[in-house]
Amino acid sequence: MKYQDLLQQIAKKKIAPVYFFSGDEEFLKKEALQLLCQNLVAEDQKDFNYVLLYGKETSAGEILNQAQSLPFLSDRRLVVVQEIEKLADKDKLQEYLVHPNPATCLVLVAGKLDNRDRKHKLYSVLKEFEVVFWPLFKSDLKKWVAQKFRSYQKTVDTDTVDFLIETAGPELVNLASEITKLVIALPDKKTITLAEAQKNIFRMFTENDKRLERSLAARNLGRALVSLQHVVAEGKGEMYALWLISQSWRKLIVAKEMQSRQVSVDEIIKKFNIRKSDDQNEFKASLPQFNLAELVKKHKKIADTDKALKSSNQDPLWVLEHLLIDLCG
């Protein structure tokens, strides 16, 4: 099955009890997992019906226990196992795969598989459930960009799509970032033209934005608070500042995930297209400041802040300042 086939299954609400994610395009894997989570687990039920495990830190027994558990006040439960290739006793999963629990969607996500991994007998069983995530061809990439805009209830023409791909490059994480910038910059525009894209893409990421990102990565609370005030003072608004914080935090999560798969720091820097030597050195210095479990746990605070900004009467800048205190603490 291809990534596009999985999207059709999700759209039709025909979600299988088991999926095996393989391939090199990590961003599409994350996007697919987000869609599955949105369709299977209500936001207020994640603590009960969503489980994330890592192959090198868990056992087949724990995976089976979670997969066989019944959902709480819901029809389905989502269990995700990252780095399935690092699971020591993976043989014990085979019997479950023959008769999986229909009330659970079990997603086994592989990192980089070598020929030795592929020869393991479990993978002959997993072929039946495999969804392959390859980098998109140019025509598919254009469709992906257009679809991303449609998910925000916006449309773009072909020239705008071509401009974005040329500007951001083919890396999906960079394209998604530029699309989000445009959506935030032009909230009232249903159709985004090439001229509007050209005008807004280049003006948005200022030196104050970069200072906020660097301060957060360095866990320098004082500098982060000052940078936040400057970003808001530029007139971009609190929601843009929250997006900037969220993107910075996601970058750290992705980087630490890659490190856990023994990807070199130089490869991570290449993925994020960090070109200046000073920026590269600063990014390298930031990674030891965090561990993956802490980053993932604190990411929920960003979602809580989003809700608070949209629904509470609290001062938005005060809400963002307290988020930075939590993240840098």
Q: pLDDT tens-digit profile of 83-142? A: 998 888 888 998 999 999 999 999 999 987 777 766 777 888 888 899 999 888 888 999
- CATH code for the part of the protein at 138-201: 1.10.8.60
Split at pLDDT 50, 70, 90, the class of 236 is: low
pLDDT of residue 241: 85
pLDDT tens by residue, 240-280: 788 889 888 888 898 888 888 888 888 888 877 777 787 78
Backbone angles phi, psi at 116, to 5 degrees: -65, -40
* Paired strand residues for 191: 155
User: Model-level pTM?
Assistant: 0.61
- Burial (CB < 10 A; 0-12, 13-18, 19+), residue 318, is exposed
Superfamily of domain 3-132: P-loop containing nucleotide triphosphate hydrolases (3.40.50.300)
Split at pLDDT 50, 70, 90, the class of 198 is: confident
Fold of the 207-328 domain:
Zinc Finger, Delta Prime; domain 3 (1.20.272)
Strands (E), 145-288: 155-156, 191-192
CA Rg value for the chain: 21
pLDDT tens by residue, 148-169: 999 999 999 999 999 888 777 7
Region 217-231: what's the mean pLDDT? 89
The domain locations on the chain are 3-132, 138-201, 207-328
